[in-house]
Structure 1
Amino acid sequence: MSSSEPDRAVPDPRRWKALALLCVAMFVVNLDAQIVLLAIPSIEQDLGFTSGSEQWVLSAYLLTFGGLLMLGGRMADLLGRRRMFFIGTTMFLLASVLCGLAWTGEVLIAARTLQGASAAVMAPTALSILVTTFDEGSERNKALGIWSGIAGFGATAALLVGGPINDLLGWEWIFFLNVPIALILLGLGPVLLRESRGERRNAFDIAGAITVTLALVLLVYAVVEAPDAGWLSAQTLGLIAASIVVFAIFAWVETRSAAPLVPLRIFRNGTLVGGNIVMLLLGMIGFGMGLLVSLYAQQVLGYSALIFGLGMAVMTVMTVFGSAVGQALVTRVGFKPVAAGAMTLLGIGCLLLSRISPDGSYLGDILIPLLVFGPGLGGCYVAATIASQTGVAADEAGLASGINSAGFQIGGALGVAICSTVAASVTGAATGTVAINDGFRAAFIACVVFAVLGLAVALLLRANRPAASPAAPAAEDVPAPRTGAPVHAQAGE
């Protein structure tokens, strides 16, 4: 046995505490993706947004988050995962303060842009630290299950807490809420997280970084603007065409780069590709359904943001439950049946929501679908995350994590855009709750279609369970002992 084996065999004694800290980071990142949804009317009134421009309070975050995720994940691999986590968290802290203090709409949108960019560093970096801290197999699956549950909880909790905070404290506090959380991350991170990175390289793939980021930003921008500009408009088609061209240039650059930002061989991993497609469709369903049910409750049923937020508690609880059950089942039966079963629950939940009525109620039209949808959301997030991280080399953990997070966020942007377009096209120029309700019903059917596609992809995933053999966490590149065995960097170095 080589002298490096003991390093690999002895688990990091702080790994579960580190997991708790990383989960807090992912919670706040996902929370901020949607928490402004119920506060937009108040923000619009206070900051004097012009008609239509208020959507950029949400879109600015989504655009930079989705567009920069892959770059953020690869920078973590090359420059140090813990280091980049601290840089991203510091940026997130400053951006959150600026958001809360914003005195004009332009300042708020600029701050949300910075906040999205910082989240694009935090999310993949935190997940890659998790992957390199836990060996592949049942223990990592358990950690990823907990991670996924908290991530899903963050996404659903945004609708739960956003309304009460906005109504009771003011919209500024949905951003100030991040300040103590970020300070905790920065205070405990040096104690609980160890540094790791992929192999050192003398060159950074600048051309690859520029082209992939530009391609993703063009794609997300096209999707975000499509409901207003039109899906077949010159703007939308032109941006999508430009994105495809830049993606092609990026692929050409990567095949010729000595140190590629995204080694294209990573896409030979069919499980990674399939898991990320499931994650993309999950983002479309989760964000699309969240937007629709929020608008239905407020615009048709007349609920306040506070009352509706409290009503979402049941889905938050069921999402956490689904994550816990999903993690346990993945370890026993594999991620394929869990992903397929969870997608089925998501489809059923959206199908039930497609029966909403103008004179409906929370108990009669919303509660049962939420009880079905929540476990599907939690279970699918777990299965897709584990699938997309299975078989990935330790020095590419940040990249794989960036792809995973990008899939969910870009899926969210696409889902919101498509659902908004479907609802608007059915409603047309008509007014009144009946017409609005008809638009929402059609958009929920679109979510059912997303779930059917997700089920088809899930059934194509590899049937066997994730490999049980341990994979060594990446070591910090420090001088090795005479035996040549790598030395793992410890927290606080």
Structure 2
Amino acid sequence: MNVALTQTDRTTRRAPGPGAVLAALAAAQFTVMLATSIVNVALPQIRAGTGLSDSGTTWVVNAYGLAFGALLLAGGRVADLFGRRRVLIAGLALFALASSAAGLATSSGVLIAARTVQGLGAAAIAPAALALAVDRFPSGPGRGRALGVWGAVSGAGAAGGVLLGGALTQAWGWPWIFHSVALGAALVLAAVAALVPRDAGRKAGRFDLLGTATVTLALTCLVWGLTTARGSGWTDARVLGALGAAAVLLAAFCVIERRRPNALMPLRLLTTGRVAAGNLLMALLGSVWIALFFFLPLYQQQVLGSGPLATGAGQLPLAVAHMLGAGLAPRISRRIGATATLTAALLTEAAGLLWLSRISAGGSYLTDVLGPSILVGLGLSVAFVQLTTLAVDGVPREDAGLAGGLVNTTRQVGGAIGLAALATLAGSVTAHASTRQPPLEALTAGYRAAFTVSAAVLAATALLALFLTRRTGARIPDTASTHPASDPASDPRTSRLSPIRLDR
């Protein structure tokens, strides 16, 4: 008896603490966000090294975003049914292998295919990691701190990708941006395997193949149409066909899901109003978020004349502000309330973007970029933490992976819509201005227009946030004051698992 107790005590002492588990899961999220932005600065070098055309170069970015955005819902549901830790490890392994293949690619076809598989791995990683974090930290102060860390690493990954991409491209060449991501993913995989406890594994329920295929194809058409519209125009027959097919498939998905007993997207996930509101607002935030990291490096390189390394280093203040804001978000929420915190954060980011709308062709980093970047970083991070909390609050434990996939999907799809619209706007303004202004002045005018509209979108989002919380009668959950609800069905001692079947 004493020997058994001693062995149990030793096992307990050796068990990783919550901080170590959260660090491993947050590192997985950081890796996904890093891969999203790390190629942006290196695109000219990638084009020269692989013989890509101008239109083909955009697919180095689009292929990853397309697979990532289209498969997030499926990745979240697979994680719920087959085990989140298992899916997370498989996703990291696939992500690392695809990153290595991208670094070794000598042709454009291999590179774009590897980026697509990278996106597939990311679609498994992001919802599984978020679900494990939410499950590990129930509602209350602990979850608030955990999601603060989540927000910090998400912003740091996006901004850090620009910095690391610039440094590696200038020092060793573009293949090393992919080799570094592969190495990072392998290290994260080892950390997850060592630190994250095993979950219950397979759970009861059927996997909705028909619903999954329909929504994945719909999101693929939607994201492809939006990304293609940036280069081909909104009246292009392929763009109109893809967007029309997306609308038809999404309508079909809604009909299918209403009739499925084990739907991919059960209506119960949206019935509280908090999940629906959180995802709508996250889509609007995402529409500005992704566009920001597209236009800001372009302004620094094409107008200010910064090199890859200087452009990446210029993102550091934004990344630091983002991490600081994410860490402070739970404390601010405790002091002024979560709804006020979200509104203030959105307005702060809007103010930073409005400041950026005053950039000039003869400006400098210190006068035109540094100050607004700090404001944007602070507002973006706090808003991200609050909206992630809103989007997973009250979700049953068995649907946590799906909720994580949904909030990531809305951010990605919102980002694709926003970037397509803002890129079209910027291009139109630049083309019109080029008839009467020098090239750099015309280019800057397009960027100013994009930042101005982004600020307006965020100001409208802040007002919408107030309206939605009043309309639904559901206050945004205060991460410092809510308490976990008991869920006997989630207790492994009382749950009874049945084999998963494929529902065709």
Please say whether Structure 1 and Structure 2 have the same fold, judged by a TM-score greater than 0.5: yes
| Distance (Å, rounded) in 1 between the aligned partners of 2:68 and 2:192 | 22
Q: Pick the aligned partner of 1:463 from 451, 475, 483.
A: 475
Whether the aligned pair in 2 keeps the contact of 1:136 and 1:468 (CA below 8 Å) is: yes
Q: Does 1:111 pair with 2:114?
A: yes
Q: Which position in structure 2 is the counterpart of 1:443?
A: 450
| Distance (Å, rounded) in 2 between the aligned partners of 1:139 and 1:312 | 30
The secondary structure found in structure 1 opposite 2:366 is helix
Identity %: 38
| Distance (Å, rounded) in 2 between the aligned partners of 1:331 and 1:394 | 25
Q: Which position in structure 2 is the counterpart of 1:422?
A: 425
Q: Which position in structure 1 is the counterpart of 2:459?
A: 452
Shift of 1:368: 1.1
Shift of 1:477: 9.0
Q: Which position in structure 1 is the counterpart of 2:190?
A: 187
The secondary structure found in structure 2 opposite 1:358 is coil
Q: Does 1:396 pair with 2:408?
A: no
| Distance (Å, rounded) in 2 between the aligned partners of 1:285 and 1:222 | 19
Whether the aligned pair in 2 keeps the contact of 1:298 and 1:304 (CA below 8 Å) is: yes
Whether the aligned pair in 2 keeps the contact of 1:59 and 1:224 (CA below 8 Å) is: yes
Whether the aligned pair in 1 keeps the contact of 2:82 and 2:202 (CA below 8 Å) is: no
Q: Which amino acid aligns with 1:41?
A: P
The 1:167–1:360 alpha-carbon spacing in structure 2 relative to 1, beyond 3 Å, is same
Q: Pick the aligned partner of 2:326 from 319, 323, 327.
A: 323
Gaps of 5+ in 1: 1-9, 488-493
Q: Which position in structure 2 is the counterpart of 1:172?
A: 175
| Distance (Å, rounded) in 1 between the aligned partners of 2:146 and 2:489 | 20
Post-superposition Cα deviations, 1:279-329, rounded to whole Å, max 9, x if no partner, equal 112211121122111111111111111111112111111111111111222
Q: Which amino acid aligns with 1:287?
A: I
Q: Does 1:219 pair with 2:231?
A: no
Whether the aligned pair in 1 keeps the contact of 2:422 and 2:450 (CA below 8 Å) is: yes
Whether the aligned pair in 2 keeps the contact of 1:156 and 1:316 (CA below 8 Å) is: yes
Whether the aligned pair in 2 keeps the contact of 1:145 and 1:382 (CA below 8 Å) is: yes
Q: Pick the aligned partner of 1:260 from 253, 260, 263.
A: 263
| Distance (Å, rounded) in 1 between the aligned partners of 2:485 and 2:199 | 14
Whether the aligned pair in 2 keeps the contact of 1:65 and 1:117 (CA below 8 Å) is: yes
Q: Which position in structure 1 is the counterpart of 2:341?
A: 338
Shift of 1:131: 0.8
Q: Does 1:409 pair with 2:421?
A: no
Q: Which amino acid aligns with 2:263?
A: P
Whether the aligned pair in 2 keeps the contact of 1:132 and 1:474 (CA below 8 Å) is: no
Q: Pick the aligned partner of 1:76 from 73, 76, 79.
A: 79
Q: Pick the aligned partner of 2:301 from 298, 311, 323.
A: 298
Q: Which position in structure 2 is the counterpart of 1:4?
A: none
Shift of 1:237: 2.8
Q: Pick the aligned partner of 2:286 from 283, 287, 294.
A: 283
| Distance (Å, rounded) in 1 between the aligned partners of 2:41 and 2:368 | 20
Q: Which amino acid aligns with 1:305?
A: P
Shift of 1:433: 0.5
Shift of 1:182: 2.0
| Distance (Å, rounded) in 2 between the aligned partners of 1:112 and 1:274 | 32
Q: Pick the aligned partner of 1:22 from 1, 5, 25.
A: 25
Whether the aligned pair in 1 keeps the contact of 2:77 and 2:264 (CA below 8 Å) is: yes
Q: Which amino acid aligns with 2:459?
A: V
Q: Pick the aligned partner of 1:360 from 337, 351, 363.
A: 363
| Distance (Å, rounded) in 1 between the aligned partners of 2:158 and 2:351 | 20
Q: Which amino acid aligns with 1:468?
A: T
Q: Which position in structure 1 is the counterpart of 2:70?
A: 67
Q: Which position in structure 2 is the counterpart of 1:154?
A: 157
The 1:182–1:314 alpha-carbon spacing in structure 2 relative to 1, beyond 3 Å, is same
| Distance (Å, rounded) in 1 between the aligned partners of 2:490 and 2:482 | 24
The 1:214–1:334 alpha-carbon spacing in structure 2 relative to 1, beyond 3 Å, is farther
The 1:113–1:333 alpha-carbon spacing in structure 2 relative to 1, beyond 3 Å, is same
Whether the aligned pair in 2 keeps the contact of 1:91 and 1:115 (CA below 8 Å) is: yes
Q: Which position in structure 2 is the counterpart of 1:6?
A: none
Whether the aligned pair in 2 keeps the contact of 1:286 and 1:412 (CA below 8 Å) is: yes
Q: Pick the aligned partner of 2:372 from 353, 369, 374.
A: 369
The secondary structure found in structure 1 opposite 2:54 is coil
| Distance (Å, rounded) in 2 between the aligned partners of 1:138 and 1:345 | 24
Post-superposition Cα deviations, 1:352-395, rounded to whole Å, max 9, x if no partner, equal 11111111111111111112111011111111111111111100
Q: Does 1:47 pair with 2:50?
A: yes
Q: Which position in structure 1 is the counterpart of 2:7?
A: none
RMSD, matched Cα: 2.1
Whether the aligned pair in 2 keeps the contact of 1:148 and 1:378 (CA below 8 Å) is: yes
Whether the aligned pair in 1 keeps the contact of 2:84 and 2:201 (CA below 8 Å) is: no
Shift of 1:471: 4.2
Whether the aligned pair in 1 keeps the contact of 2:83 and 2:203 (CA below 8 Å) is: no
Shift of 1:333: 4.1
The secondary structure found in structure 2 opposite 1:204 is strand
Shift of 1:51: 2.9
Q: Which position in structure 2 is the counterpart of 1:5?
A: none
| Distance (Å, rounded) in 1 between the aligned partners of 2:219 and 2:385 | 25
Q: Pick the aligned partner of 1:36 from 14, 39, 47.
A: 39
| Distance (Å, rounded) in 1 between the aligned partners of 2:96 and 2:51 | 25
Shift of 1:194: 2.5
| Distance (Å, rounded) in 2 between the aligned partners of 1:114 and 1:361 | 39
Once the two structures are overlaid, the 10-residue window that deviates more, 176-185 or 163-172, is 176-185
